[in-house]
Structure 1
């Protein structure tokens, strides 16, 4: 009897002691000019939150950047002494029981890890800046921590989490409806809200009763044109692993800039001399359901057929960067296409190499279709920072970023994309071609960089809340 009483008493005392410790930790006063930037995802693949952390650090904030490990963040962030990166374990579903049970257990475990880290591993901060999505369970957990510690909760709305979940389960699924209710209810608990488009700001106000400030994604200063010599160095580096870069290395050597190249035309069965290099096409993706890359692949097949038929078009090197669940699926399709005049590769690039690639390209392609129709693709923002024109698939608020026939072109299907590629690259050898006109328009637009935009729109909010 005594033994069983002790067995019950010890866990109770342990829990009580833990509760007192958490309460003591929670009530400590936050350090002045301190912030925790939270993303329940790969920190290295969350550029906007990295930019927030850097901007806060430049303004004298001590910043903890909390999220999953995996991809390497930008060197500037790693070398900043005011920024401390703290990783939490990534939680996978437990493959036991019904789907709802698996998802529920994952959320509970994530909540425990996040609550433990925020209360026991991080000193109190003035602001918790949270990326949404994913907001389940992070919004509720961060609100609890802010309530205990007197911190202010800032949510940066990139999209709606329930709409992403709806792509997989359907929008009438009980799990999706529960996620929508949670996101709407908990989103109102924040002290300050940021969002990525005016369309999202209006939707938050109208349907969720949440007031937000639009903070457009802007390119960081390192997204710019890549000098020819640096292009050559990049291609030499990437050529060690990817054959299309090896084939193109000589093209980017400053000593061979205007070299003549040969190409076999199967229709005329002759080798012809070309005074142009292959065109470099770039796209980036997370390889998820909201980007249908079959559209690009079908357009490239059509482009290949035009070359075979004798059209005056350059060969293409198509580089698709990124990681994600559907990469192997599309990789198998690409390997079976058997293209002769178009080389496709799908590398994962280091953070410092990605801007160099965009700054070396002739055209970007974006297949991002927003699950909510209210966010904008950051990949296009980065491309525009490099003055790289874009062909982008149409969705609801794309016009806030891509201006058709001004800084790029908008398409709706593979046939329209193929026609745009043919039109743009048929003028490839001409110095006053459409692509160069788009580049000129991008240069003359004098778009703000992230640092300037953040100083104007975000910093005043952090000093007056």
Structure 2
């Protein structure tokens, strides 16, 4: 059984899987009246009741597996359902919810302290726990007396390099709504179909990159406080200045995917920047298009700064699945995923990021530079996929219980 919010569309591999039943949950639109603390308590209470009723309607499960965060109120509700139905509760720790809340409210806020107590309590009451880093495993054991097994995020099988013909098809689809994907010039012949990056001979169906094409940079985000996109915007401004000064760098198309509370704030900042050689768009992609775009891109940028310092960005895992080199902002345990100068580069501020972008795109699009070296390293790494990781790490837990 798979629970998801209405308004989101799962990947078709989930929708079409006969072994998965989907139980949709309505997203609550609460009235914006009264003190915020009252609004929050009311929202959590209604969510808990809704989730509880939904879970009691489904067939009795042997296990309930949930990801935290979000854990409030889902962990407590799942524990009660497990108690009533004699099921076993498994928590997959991707981060701590209370550390994310502290970005907005501060560490000492009563809601944050309650959330911290709540996560620790139900973590101890669960039957099994998985976590995404060894650093988090150690922290759970020392500070919460929770024994967890490290289960590194791995990319699903559909995260892979995108063939050129599918790249062209995707670009033409996106060009209908987003100007950066449209061709800058008209085709010389009527039987040629062009995007900003590719051209297709209609009669033969053959596709090739256009000469002097722009580089495609992608970053994905939930537009929250733990990702500072001003770093990327400042780096792009400096990149533009390098080109204006005569540097032989390609123009950039920068795609920032995702949705979240700070999206409109950054869209306003982007609209006020006068770029000539850099184009930015912020689409919300269909589930099937996102891996295709990652597999088509030239460079990924990750601005995720863990609120706890103990989780790893899933977006980088997916990028690596597509053999896409990544520049990622530094935090405590990032080294468990990004190996500097091996599968990507780690930066600390916008000046380091713009220097890395300049260096990586200096010989673009030839295969002789650092960018292609990083891609070749990823191609040669034969990364473990999600289903393989599940069989190695999770199935033994089920088998022994």
Name the TM tier (shorter chain): over 0.9
Matched, 1:297 2:233: yes
> Unpaired segments of 5 or more residues in structure 2?
185-194, 202-206
Q: How do 1:116-127 and structure 2 match up within 5 A?
A: 116-119=53-56, 121-127=57-63
Shift of 1:402: 0.4
Q: Give the structure 2 partner of residue 286 of structure 1.
A: 222
Q: Give the structure 2 partner of residue 104 of structure 1.
A: 41
Matched, 1:65 2:2: yes
**Is this contact kept in 2: 1:228–1:253, CA < 8 A?**
no
Q: Give the structure 1 partner of residue 13 of structure 2.
A: 76
Q: Give the structure 2 partner of residue 252 of structure 1.
A: 198
Which structure carries more relative contact order (alpha carbon 8 Å, separation 6+)?
2
3-state SS in 1 of match to 2:126: coil
Cα distance change on mapping 1:387 and 1:88 into 2, 3 Å: same
Shift of 1:173: 0.7
Q: Give the structure 2 partner of residue 263 of structure 1.
A: none
> Unpaired segments of 5 or more residues in structure 1?
1-63, 261-275
Shift of 1:92: 4.0
Deviations 1:296-321 (A, max 9, x none): 00000000011011111111111111
Deviations 1:250-270 (A, max 9, x none): 53125573654xxxxxxxxxx
TM-score where L is the length of structure 2: 0.93
Q: Give the structure 2 partner of residue 372 of structure 1.
A: 308
Q: How do 1:225-240 and structure 2 match up within 5 A?
A: 225-240=161-176
CA distance in 1, matches of 2:58, 2:232: 45
Cα distance change on mapping 1:179 and 1:92 into 2, 3 Å: farther
3-state SS in 2 of match to 1:83: coil
Choose from 420, 433, 447 the match for 2:356.
420
Matched, 1:405 2:341: yes
3-state SS in 2 of match to 1:211: coil
CA distance in 2, matches of 1:299, 1:67: 37
Cα distance change on mapping 1:388 and 1:258 into 2, 3 Å: closer
**Greater gyration radius:** 1
Cα distance change on mapping 1:348 and 1:110 into 2, 3 Å: same
Cα distance change on mapping 1:153 and 1:299 into 2, 3 Å: same
**Is this contact kept in 1: 2:3–2:22, CA < 8 A?**
yes
Q: Give the structure 2 partner of residue 457 of structure 1.
A: 393
TM-score where L is the length of structure 1: 0.81
Shift of 1:143: 0.9
Shift of 1:94: 4.1
3-state SS in 2 of match to 1:105: helix
Q: How do 1:94-243 and structure 2 match up within 5 A?
A: 94-119=31-56, 121-243=57-179
3-state SS in 1 of match to 2:92: strand
Shift of 1:67: 2.9
CA distance in 1, matches of 2:331, 2:3: 32
Shift of 1:447: 1.0
Deviations 1:23-69 (A, max 9, x none): xxxxxxxxxxxxxxxxxxxxxxxxxxxxxxxxxxxxxxxxx111312
Deviations 1:341-376 (A, max 9, x none): 011111111111111111111100000011101110
CA distance in 2, matches of 1:460, 1:416: 43
Q: Give the structure 2 partner of residue 15 of structure 1.
A: none
Shift of 1:117: 1.4
